Amino acid sequence: MEFRLDDEHEALRKTVQEFAADIVAPRAAHFDETGDFPYEIVEQMGRMGLFGLPFPEEYGGMGGDFFALCLALEELARADSSVAITLEAAVCLGSMPVYRFGTEEQKRRWLPELCSGTALAAFGLTEPGGGSDAGNPRTRAVRDGDEWVINGSKAFITNSGTDITRLVTVLCRTGERADGRPELTNLMVPVPHDGFQASKKYSKVGWHASDTRELVFEDCRVPGDAILGDLGRGYAQFLSTLDEGRVAISALAVGLAQGCVDESVRYAKEREAFGQPIGRYQAVAFRIADMQMRTHVARLAYYDAAARLCAGQPFKREAAIAKLYSSTIAVDNARDATQVFGGYGFMNEYPVARHWRDAKILEIGEGTSEVQRMVIARDLGL
Ligand SMILES: Cc1cc2nc3c(=O)[nH]c(=O)nc-3n(C[C@H](O)[C@H](O)[C@H](O)COP(=O)(O)OP(=O)(O)OC[C@H]3O[C@@H](n4cnc5c(N)ncnc54)[C@H](O)[C@@H]3O)c2cc1C
């Protein structure tokens, strides 16, 4: 057992770390304030190959693995969670289902563009009426001749309304199964498309520069072969998509948690009170030491889940543990970093204030903390 990154992963981590420090961090406050989508940064990440990291070269990818993606997400989130979640959702929710479940034709049609970062795909599970119970959607798709006709709506869908959004995969009820449960199928809707509308961006507490919208489908007609993979496989596909996504969200949470440590250490050395730097006071130093301890443990948790995933081993429980723990400590670190900064920590222009607002969603998106506990408990046979 070894806990050292190999040379290739370490080189990637360093490249993304430098990109995040030089390009992403200096612009983060601006995008946070304006809520503009960071098109230029996305374009640069596309040129770096980040959108194609875990996909084979034959589909336009970099031929890397999921671990590489997690390292990139951690380094980006250390600087800016909006940029990190844009990449996470594009890869894990947008491209990955196409790669994992799509037909050869669907992969060849969509993946090269998505891997280049010139196009984004989104995945619509959550509905205005519920997200945790995603296996029970109201959105319906009815077969009409050679086509499917989709009616319904989805809520909080990331990357669904940017100028470069080209695909939305949407979970639909396509019938009833023999056991009375809904038959669920994922349908791929090219964007723009008649009958599909992405509403205006939500006003959010954090992740300001990330694109999040409600989607409306009104008699939206897609061809019969718009099914992702096979008919009736929607439930299994989204469960598996979320298992992987949780590892990635965990990496993102660790990045935010580390960013809070970075900022706190710097500030504690610089800020003076009662004649000396505040970092000399044990109350402050111990608070930051605890933040680093939590971050380190959370990182090991996602490394473990990612390593299992890459090795083709079961990782559901480990993914839920990593997501649950790292999102919890990201919120803790963001709160504590704000405390270290005192009044300045409450000012939006300081990164720790942004981290504080960006942290909370980590306990909600891609399965709430309660849902992670449900997954772990079920895996324990409870
Ligand atoms: C910024 C943002 C981006 C998002 N991006 C996407 C996206 O790209 N695609 C997508 O499909 N979704 C996306 N989501 C949706 C997100 O995944 C859901 O918000 C989340 O899964 C929770 O669903 P909900 O909001 O409907 O809460 P609900 O399911 O209504 O839950 C409300 C509360 O009840 C608790 N709860 C529910 N059921 C149980 C239970 N059985 N036992 C105990 N507690 C329970 C929950 O844990 C939660 O605390 C995004 C959300 C946000 C805010």
- Render pLDDT for 138-176 as a digit per residue (tens, 0 to 9): 999 999 999 999 999 999 999 999 999 999 999 999 999
User: Is 328's C-beta closer than 6 angstroms to any atom of ligand 1?
Assistant: no
Read off the pLDDT band of 349 (50, 70, 90): confident
Asked if pLDDT for residue 304 goes beyond 80, the answer is: yes
The pTM assigned to this predicted structure is 0.98
Partners of 143 in beta bridges: 148
Asked if pLDDT for residue 290 goes beyond 90, the answer is: yes
Read off the pLDDT band of 2 (50, 70, 90): confident
Predicted local confidence at residue 3, as pLDDT: 76
Q: What are the tens digits of pLDDT across the range 104-139?
A: 999 999 999 999 999 999 999 999 999 999 889 999
Nearest-CA residue for atom 38 of ligand 1? 132
Asked if pLDDT for residue 269 goes beyond 80, the answer is: yes
Predicted local confidence at residue 4, as pLDDT: 86
CB atoms within 10 A of CB 182: 19
Nearest-CA residue for atom 52 of ligand 1? 156
Asked if pLDDT for residue 193 goes beyond 90, the answer is: yes
Predicted local confidence at residue 184, as pLDDT: 97
Predicted local confidence at residue 379, as pLDDT: 96
Strands 140-144 and 182-190: unpaired
User: Best mutation site among 91, 92, 132 for ligand 1, i.e. most ligand atoms within 8 A of its Cβ?
Assistant: 132
Contact 143, 189 (CB under 8 A): no
Asked if pLDDT for residue 1 goes beyond 80, the answer is: no
Q: Which two tokens stand for residue 229?
A: 């993979």
Long-range pairs, 56-62, Cβ under 8 A, ≥24: 59/99, 59/107, 59/108, 59/111, 59/112, 59/115, 60/111, 60/112, 60/113, 60/114, 60/115, 60/116, 61/111, 61/115, 62/115
Residue 48's contacts (CB-CB under 8 Å, 6 or more residues apart) are 15, 16, 19
Question: What mean pLDDT is predicted for residues 11-33?
Answer: 98
Mean pLDDT of the chain: 97
User: Is 264's C-beta closer than 6 angstroms to any atom of ligand 1?
Assistant: no
List active site positions.
366
Predicted local confidence at residue 21, as pLDDT: 98
Predicted local confidence at residue 205, as pLDDT: 98
Rounded distance from Cα 126 to ligand 1 centre (Å): 7
User: Is 300's C-beta closer than 6 angstroms to any atom of ligand 1?
Assistant: no
Predicted local confidence at residue 182, as pLDDT: 94
Predicted local confidence at residue 187, as pLDDT: 98
Asked if pLDDT for residue 316 goes beyond 90, the answer is: yes
Question: What mean pLDDT is predicted for residues 233-245?
Answer: 96
DSSP string of 320-350, one letter each residue: HHHHHHHHHHHHHHHHHHHHHTGGGGGSTTS
Instruction: Classify residue 39 as exposed, middle or buried by CB count within 10 Å of its CB (0-12, 13-18, 19+).
Output: exposed
